[in-house]
Amino acid sequence: MADHAADHSAGYVTAETAMVLPVLAILLAVGLWAVAVAGAQLRCIDAARDAARAVARGESDSSASAAASAAAPPGAHIDIGHVGNRVVVVVSARVGKGLGPLSAVSIPTVAATATAESEADP
């Protein structure tokens, strides 16, 4: 009698596993996507800081932009501005391409701003 009950419950484990695996795959994909967005945000912060420091030390905007491009995520937009004696750098980047079923989800844009006081004599 006990063997008969064990035979009936064996199929439930397979069905439950089949239902849970797609949910786990989606959670894994969302987790990896969140890590990619956070990583891109950190790279934008580093790139903006590097460029602001470089311009504040007296380097040209083009060399600071090149340094920021090396630290920024691929395809990032770098904007260097001057407000009085202050340097303002904004780095922004779009994260992901929206492949497959994720193409319906909007592509996030991450951005970072850094400011630095110019070290050059006024």
Q: For residue range 13-57, what is the model confidence (pLDDT) as tens digits?
A: 777 878 888 888 888 888 888 888 899 999 999 999 999 999 999
More confident position, 96 or 53: 53
Question: Any idea what DSSP says for residue 78?
Answer: E
Q: Residue 98: what pLDDT?
A: 60
CB count, 10 Å around CB of 54? Answer: 22
Beta-carbon contacts of 80 under 8 Å, excluding residues fewer than 6 positions away, are 51, 55, 61, 64, 65, 87, 88, 89
Question: Any idea what DSSP says for residue 109?
Answer: E
Q: What share of the chain in percent tops pLDDT 70?
A: 81
Q: Residue 5: what pLDDT?
A: 53
Q: Residue 46: what pLDDT?
A: 95
Q: Which two tokens stand for residue 23?
A: 């949910």
Segment 61-72 mean pLDDT: 92
Q: Residue 117: what pLDDT?
A: 92
More confident position, 121 or 40: 40
Residue 10: pLDDT over 70: no
